[in-house]
Structure 1
Amino acid sequence: MTSFTLLHVSDPHLGHSGGDQRAHQAETAWASLHAEVARNRPDLVVITGDLVVDDPDDRADRALAHARISALEAPAYVVPGNHDVGDHTTRSGLPVDWHGSRVSDARVDAWEATWGPGHWLREHDDWVLLGINAQVLGSGLAAEARQWEWLELVALPAVSGRPLLVFSHESLDTRPETEGTVDSWMSIPTEASRRLWAMLEPHRPIAVCAGHTHRHLEWTHGCARGITAPSLSGAIPHRNDMTAAEGDQRPGWLRYTLDNRTLRVDRVAPGTPTGPAGAASAPLVSHSI
């Protein structure tokens, strides 16, 4: 089994609908990522959602995100976030004015017309990478039913004992900050999360990798590591009416080195020695998640 590298990127929030300052921040951070990919040529890039600024119905933002990601000089796989296809009905601990557009089959269809299916399985060397549309979980939509069926009948039987990495926008509902909280905004709705873990656990995933909270965090859940990537676009603003994580102040991404059945995780921030030479840190503009 050979070693390979994967960049885990999340929440780039690309587009112009959020105004010039946010667009400039996102483009500056994206330029640093693009330079890193061009220089170091990772084997893969996986982007765990919130590709666009805020609005899942903004076609111009979606087209821009598609153009930027398609230009990366490495294979790139994506899963949707709440700003790409809409959100869950219940998001405990989130300010009321940050409750966004609800996920719908129409929004999922529009996203998939650009990106292809929101759930996917990719094989690289002896590893299996599994992408999941977290936003439909617990929704009762036709898209959710299709994904559960695909997981049970197609994707998970194909793992066949190989090392498995799972990618979604939201993490399992086992985060250290949310113990005892039902349907936290930071994770997959509780009932759906438990159902998903019951399906994944027999296959002993190495890690379940997500974004959404704009924070690099790692913890252990059963046989797996939980990992969330920082946002490429910056921090979440402090709100007294918001539960827990505010995100990391500095934009960045994670570099995974996969060797045999081991996973090494390194954080990369624009402007650091491990990032692109001479890249400048983007100014921080806080915004909703």
Structure 2
Amino acid sequence: MTGQASLSSRPLARLWPRRRPSVLPGFGLTLGFAVFYLGLLVLLPLAAVFLRAAGLTPEAFWALVTHPRTIAALRVSFGASLVAAFINVGFGALTAWVLVRYRFPGRRLLDAVVDLPFALPTAVAGIALSSLYAVNGPLGGLLAPLGIKVAYTWLGVVVALTFIGLPFVVRTVQPVLEDLDKGQEEAAATLGASRWQTLRRVVLPALAPALLTGFTLAFARAVGEYGSVIFIAGNLPYRTEIAPLLIVIQLGEYNYAGATALAVVMLVIAFVLLLAINLLQAWSRRRLGGV
């Protein structure tokens, strides 16, 4: 009888396996709280922006978003943000590599300096960059004889956006490099691979998801940047005027519907670009997992 009871209980044990207790409450409660928190802090303000922009007629909305000044400001914001994000991917990965793979005096100080753009107020960063890269500044004075002008140009916008976006790439790539198995690099060298081949075929594929994540964070941070850009950009309409500044100008003229309409356009463009980047990141992870 005991043997029959034990045999009959085995299928039940397979049907209802014992669960390990979870640290958090059940799925329904945690999901509900997460959705409520996300909706309160993110979705509700975004919905208010769209509702406010709906106060414009379709003709007025289209005339505003297709105005040459609006298109020029969007081109400056998104173009400079993309260029700055690409620059940060290269130099951010290089900085993370140096911090992880080498031991040298002042390494901890350099590691702390990377986080300064996080703590520094953006307006202070803009004033500092303007002072450095002005024609009579320490760096601008050296570049002026070479015919390179940074302050109050499109290049100055890129410099400011690169400054505030660098930590996102470094802090995203750094932990991945720390966990990267050096044995794979040693095995590649043993098999006769050069340093460039090891970097291209072993290191970069492993870092690709982290690099894409850092690029996305740096780009998203740069698109909405305002404080550090307006001091070094010069804010010339059709040339160095950014879209966030154009929104502030609309608010200063009490054109709240126009300001929210510009915000909606920026949100839609940023969402499409970020969605494309996330899809590319998911594809790279699947490809890496398949390899």
User: Quick check: TM above 0.5?
Assistant: no
> Which has the greater radius of gyration?
2
Which interval holds the TM-score relative to the shorter structure?
under 0.3
Using the size of structure 2 for normalisation, the TM-score is: 0.21
| Higher RCO (C-alpha under 8 Å, 6+ residues apart) | 2
Which structure dedicates a bigger proportion of its chain to strand? 1
When normalised by structure 1's length, the TM-score is 0.22
